[in-house]
Structure 1
Amino acid sequence: MTMNDYAWQCDKGLTDCMKHVLNNALFCDVTLLVGECEEEVSAHKLVLVSRSPVFYASFEGPLAEKGQLVIKDIEKDTFELFLHYLYTDSITLTNENVTSILYCARKYCVDKLTWRCELFMEDKIDAENVFGIMEEAHTYGLTTLKEKCLKYLVQNIEEALASESFSLICKHCIGSILRMDSLNISEEKLFEHVIRWAGAECSRRNLQTTDKNKRLVLGENIKLIRFPVMADSYFKDKVASGMLLDADEVINVFLYNFSKNDGNCRQSTFEVASRCYRRVLRFRKTLRERQVSDEKNDIAFESSVPVTLHGVTVYTPKEQCETQIVCIDVFDHNKSSIASVDSHYFEHSSRKVHDVFLDQPIRIAPNKRYTISTKTSYWVKSFYGTRGRDCVQFRDGTISFYNAALSESSDSDYDWASTTVDKGQIAGLLLS
């Protein structure tokens, strides 16, 4: 044996030394039996108890186990990756291993590794896997990650619903989706996808795919579907003719829609506000290259009918490499703040505009004046709108725009303002 065999420590830092003793099983004092086949994995108690309160309880607490520790619910390859992280604070996460590593991190209360898994999955959210990630977030109680998934669905729901993973999520996640007030999809299409999920759930439970059983697997989620929002003909042909709703519920929807049209609205069993928003854009023309930095933009508006405000459409940076930050406040007719968005980041878009959503949509009362106020950060060259319209038709009403903040001043005082009825950075509203 050469001197180098004894002196492997000399040119290594702590991390490399820890890796060496693990890989070469030097001075190990505990054997773990891992996986269904109970394969042996050697380790050091000192490392395990210093990194995980669960391992501490297993080896040192009042409930300490005697002899070898058996871990059947984790495969050996996965556990060795996890063990490598405990020794070195280093791990390579992939689409294939992140779920199993997250399971290890949660089981053994290694919060820093949980956080790394959460960040990795957040970065991978797209239409194909958003539901799979949301299911993992729900399973492990990762509230922030689940909220990120739901926020992604606001604008990408139709594309995401086409993925196979939607049929595999749990009933609780279905409920989270149906509780959302902003989704860029018609209630009819959303209903059809939910019914497809219910059919898949019936198959998983070995139930016949009848309307009665679909309602059974949906449970209370059936009450979150907004049947009164559906077209009358669709509801009559696709819902009322089946057995998904009972007779009282069907009658309630018909009576609500009839009384709504008659001007004497009845109480509905189901939510009646549409979650499908639409852009109400106010400019006839979009121009390029306006310098924007740390400036405030205000526009006031009124609606002639009750509507719901889901968010604001703003112009994007002109250059592809530029990022903009915007903060948004909504004030009611009493000048009280009723909604806000803090530090929303967005980049250049080929569409020239970007939708910024409120955390929760707000109801807009008719013939009351509200004000949208935005503040942007960073110097960027931005698109902006001109030839603004002071009135835009929206469904059965009119949205009217007014100059804000300087309402006591003459029109000529608006020449310096960055956003007015005629020009500006606030391109429009997201309404339903």
Structure 2
Amino acid sequence: MVRDCVAALAIGRSALNTKDYLYTIIIFFPRLIRASIFFGFHFQSLLQFVRSWFKKACSSCGLFIALICRIKVEGKRIIETTIKELVCWLFFFHAVLQEAIGKQIMHHENVNRDWQNCDDVIKSNAFMLDNQYACDVFFILGNEGVRQGAHKYVLVSRSSVFDAMFYGPMRGTSQEDSAVVIPDIEPQPFLAFLRYLYCGEAGITPENVIYLLYAAQKYAVLGLASKCISFVDQLLDTDNACTVLEQAHIFNEKDFHSTVLALILRKAEEVLAADDVTYLCDECLANIIGSSKLMACEDLILNACLRWAESECKRRSLEVSDSNFRLVLNKILYKIRFPLLPVEVFMEKIVPGSLLTEEEKVDVMSRFIVPNRPSAFFNTELRIAQRQLKLNRFQAQFEAGFNNKSGSNAIAFKVSQDIILEGFTVYGSCRPSELDLEVKGYVLDHKDTIICSVEKNLYTKGDNDLYDVIFDDSATLEKNILYTLVVSIVGPHTFAGKDGRLTTFSHNVAFTFSHSEKSQTGTTVSHGQLPGLIFALRR
């Protein structure tokens, strides 16, 4: 049989009602044979037949269908063995297909006799789409030109753009308007788009959300566009952020791009540590690395760039070396703030190699000696994470467990000058093992309006460390206004603080704490959870 086939179905004598024929249906990858060769022998008839077994014939890899036969002709048995022979048989297959249709093997009545009696119109729509039955318009999709059938009635009923294309001012003068070429949408996301039109099934994933949004906006399907936006708002996380960012960049979805970029900048430590970052294009990586809002230390940023450079070298079939890292990083190299690296990291990772020139190394090392000296090559402005300050309101810590299960922890406070609140700290589990804490927190202003919030799972190690929780968006706090931090913690007992101070100073800012009636766990000014705040000074 032909190599690289991904599925096969043999139809025996009972199906054919004859002893002379045995048909085998095989699905091939398009790289083996050009799909256009097969359009001359009733491709759609064959497609209708096969799709009763293979519901996803038109998938992202651009599959098409060929009919292979083993049949007795004048006492001779012809058995397909090679791709070349297959191509030679195409005219023969045309006759075979006609024979099969004549025996009603591929007649629609034999596929499913009762599908039209279904009370559910959505199921009937799905059947017609999946089986490509009675299609009156065809789309040629993506770079491979994969053919996908549809029905004008459904398209026109769901999209004003399709209405204009087929029956309005956008319709061409030629009567041959049944084939629509769409090179900018690949088969799989377009099929998901069609399924939404036919059945109302969105089928949104991180991999296709931007493609679906693009199709929804292109054809004015506002309901699907809204679902795509909601998907990003609700399910976007550090694991899929880079994938979505890259898609938004490809399709020039500026609003999506801004939304995803903001999340990446806020959750930079998690995003930059993930493998997904290595698949970004150089422009997207440069936008991330160049931002002063990137919430990560410079050595983590450097490591992410080096991992990306290694992957890029492999993509370009280049040797993995410092000189090639410098080549592929190009302008990104100068967005890394080398003067902000810890001295030991620079001496260990950069000085021995050739990522930087000798002149650039001397420039950075000179700034280590004279911190306020400007760099001739690199940005020396502190990123927002490097400007973060921390305040601890307790002087000591309980070793015994603190029960958070009775409700929310809360503490009220005022500040003596305007600041930017970035997050807060919590105590971890007091049990000697790795345990999860589910943390949900928000800050209320004096009108009880939520001004920032976060939900996060923390992995604690049973030690007495404090754990940082950064808000999804920072908030500007005005001086002498009462704010309340409210945090619920789901999980095992935790450590807790004691000997809390009413007023604590940090970097010339006075924090004055007071009891909040929203506290349900026993957290007060003097003891409990919520040991600290994370903030930055206004500039």
Say whether the fold is shared (TM-score over 0.5): yes
2: CA distance, partners of 1:235 / 1:294 = 42
In 1, distance between residues paired with 2:137 and 2:518?
A: 71
Secondary structure at 1:404 match in 2? strand
Q: Following superposition of structure 1 onto structure 2, how do residues 20-419 of structure 1 map, counting pairs within 5 Å?
A: 22=129, 28-34=135-141, 41-52=148-159, 55-56=162-163, 58-60=165-167, 62-65=169-172, 66=174, 67=176, 68-71=179-182, 79-93=190-204, 101=212, 104-105=215-216, 108=219, 110-117=221-228, 120=231, 129-140=240-251, 141=253, 142-143=256-257, 146-147=260-261, 149-150=263-264, 153-157=267-271, 159-160=273-274, 163=275, 165-178=276-289, 179=291, 181-184=293-296, 186-205=297-316, 211=322, 214-240=325-351, 242-245=353-356, 249-260=360-371, 265-268=372-375, 269-273=378-382, 275=385, 281-283=392-394, 284-285=397-398, 287-289=402-404, 297-298=412-413, 300=415, 310-313=422-425, 324-327=440-443, 342-346=451-455, 351=460, 355-357=469-471, 359=473, 373-376=483-486, 385-388=496-499, 390=501, 404=512
| 1:26–1:63 distance in 2 versus 1, CA, 3 Å | same
- Listed as ranges, the gaps of 5+ residues in structure 1 are 332-339, 407-413
Aligned in 2, Cα 1:250/1:54: closer, same or farther, shift over 3 Å?
farther
Counterpart code for 2:247: E
Partners of 2:309 and 2:115 in 1: CA distance: 64
CA change 1:292–1:253 in 2 (3 A) is same
Q: 1:177 to 1:383 in 2, by over 3 A?
A: same
How far apart, in 2, do the equivalents of 1:155 and 1:86 lie?
40
C-alpha contact 1:105 1:113 (8 A) present in aligned 2: yes
Q: Please state whether the residue corresponding to 1:355 is helix, strand or coil.
A: strand
Higher normalized contact order (CA 8 Å, seq sep 6+, divided by chain length): 1
What is the CA-CA distance between 1:191 and the residue it aligns to?
0.9
- 1:239 and 1:323 map into 2 onto residues whose CA distance is 39
114-123 or 193-202: bigger deviation: 114-123
CA distance in 2, matches of 1:241, 1:379: 47
Offset from partner CA, 1:307-363 (integer Å, 9 cap, x none): 99642225799xx9998551256x9xxxxxxxx97352437867596613373599x
Distance 2:324 2:223 in 1: 43
Equivalent residue of 1:422, what SS? coil
Matched-pair contact (CA < 8 Å) for 1:181–1:361: no
Aligned residue for 1:297, secondary structure, equals strand
For residues 141-185 of structure 1, the C-alpha deviation after alignment (integer angstroms, 9 at most, x for no partner) is: 22365147516733524641xx2x33221123212432254545x
Return the alpha-carbon distance in structure 1 between the equivalents of residues 231 and 281 of structure 2.
Answer: 22
The alpha-carbon distance between structure 1 residues 6 and 217, as it changes in their structure 2 partners (threshold 3 A), is closer
- Percent of aligned pairs sharing the same letter: 27
1:387 counterpart letter in structure 2: K
Question: Aligned-pair distance for 1:428?
Answer: 1.0
| 1:221 to partner: Cα distance | 2.8
Cα distance in 2 for partners of 1:360, 1:255 equals: 35
User: SS of the counterpart of 1:267?
Assistant: coil
Deviations 1:194-243 (A, max 9, x none): 12312432443456656565445334433332212222343345335555
- Bigger-Rg structure (1/2): 2
Cα distance between partner residues in 2 of 1:115 and 1:50: 18
How many residue pairs match? The answer is: 392
Q: Judging changes above 3 Å, is the alpha-carbon distance between structure 1 residues 159 and 242 closer, same or farther for their aligned structure 2 residues?
A: closer
Please give the alpha-carbon distance, in whole angstroms, between the structure 2 residues aligned to 1:288 and 1:78.
49
Cα-Cα RMSD: 5.3
> Could you tell me how far 1:119 is from its partner in structure 2?
5.0
Alpha-carbon distance in structure 1 between the residues aligned to 2:329 and 2:483: 41
* CA distance in 2 between partners of 1:113 and 1:344 (Å): 28
Distance 1:372 1:400, change over 3 A: farther
The normalised TM-score by structure 1 is 0.65
Cα separation, 1, equivalents of 2:524 and 2:511: 5
Q: Distance in 2 between matches of 1:267 and 1:102?
A: 45
